[in-house]
Amino acid sequence: MDVKDIIKIVNNVVNSPDAEALKASILDLDKEIHNLKTQVYDLQTKNFYLERENEALRKKVDINIQWENTKALYEPFQTPGGALIYRSIKDAPVRLLACPNCMEERKIIFIQPDPDFLDRYYCPGCQRWFMK
């Protein structure tokens, strides 16, 4: 049903030659109004779910942007012992070393000197170790 069909039905109502034809045309018009109301309801329902989906996607995008901004503060770094880790890029008295495994899980975990092995770092997050 489109606007042309509705106009046609309204014209039938206006130009009905007698009471029976007028009644039939009004019933057609009432049926089309009901159909249009149903379409409006369906569209409102679809719009509601699309707005919810849009909101959820925006939140995901925001989380991704925040993560990318955080991750941008680190750069890949190879230790003298050959381990590939991340290191903070900011100028600071101490550059922070971060675990690459935890970074893959979107977590920044600072690796620490291994108290049992002087030539290793360990990650308190995933318990892996890296050669210094």
Which of positions 82-111 make contact with Zn ion (CB under 5 A)? 99, 101-102, 109
Question: Cα separation of 75 and 61, whole Å?
Answer: 22
Q: Which is nearer to Zn ion, 50 or 73 (CB)?
A: 73
Distance between CA atoms of residues 18 and 29, nearest Å: 16
Least distance to Zn ion from the beta carbon of 53, Å? Answer: 34
Sequence-separated (6 or more) residues with CB below 8 Å from residue 25: 9, 12, 13, 16
Q: Which residue has the tokens 């569209």?
A: 43
Q: Which stretch binds Zn ion (CB under 5 A): 18-26, 64-72, 90-98, 119-127?
A: 119-127
From candidates 26, 108, 126, 131, binder to Zn ion by CB under 5 A:
126
CA-based end-to-end distance of the chain: 74
- Judged by CB under 5 A, the residue of 85, 97, 98, 123 near Zn ion is 123
Residues of the shown chain interacting with Zn ion in the complex, contacts defined by CB under 5 A: 99, 101-102, 109, 123, 125-126
